[in-house]
Amino acid sequence: MGFDCDERAMHALGDRVLILPDEAESISPGGIVLPDAAQEVPCRGVVVSKGPDVGGVLHEGDKVLFAKYTGSMIEVGERRYQIVKLEDVLLRLDAVLEEEAAA
C-alpha cells in the first residue's frame, strides 16, 4: 500500500538517492507472460532526488545502475521508487554511451 504525493515533493536526505527504476520485463523474449514473482528485479533507473551529502556526483535525471537487492522500495500512487545509499549506486550511464549502444 502506497501513499499519494507529487514526485517534486519527495526529497532524499543525507547520502540517499531516490530512483525511479525501469519497469521489469513482464513478457519473456519467447513471448511468455511472466508473473510478478518471476520478473527480474530492476537495477537501472533515473535519479529523481538526491540528498545533500551526495554532492555533485549525481544529478536529477541521471540514468544509473544500482545494486540489485539494496535500499528500500516505496510506492507513491501507481509508481514504485527505490531509495538507496550513494555507495549502492554502481555507475552513471551517460546519454552518449546509451545512444552508441542502441545503434
Domain map of the chain by residue range? 7-102
pLDDT for residue 1 is more than 50: no
Rounded CA-CA distance 87/17 in Å is 10
Cα dihedral 67/73/77/79 (nearest 10)? 20
CB 50 within 8 A of CB 43: no
In tens, the pLDDT along 36-88 reads 555 556 689 999 999 999 989 899 999 999 998 889 999 888 888 999 999 99
CATH-assigned architecture of domain 7-102: Roll (2.30)
pLDDT at 33: 65
Distance CA 100, CA 31 (A): 27
Which of residues 3 and 79 earns the better pLDDT score?
Answer: 79
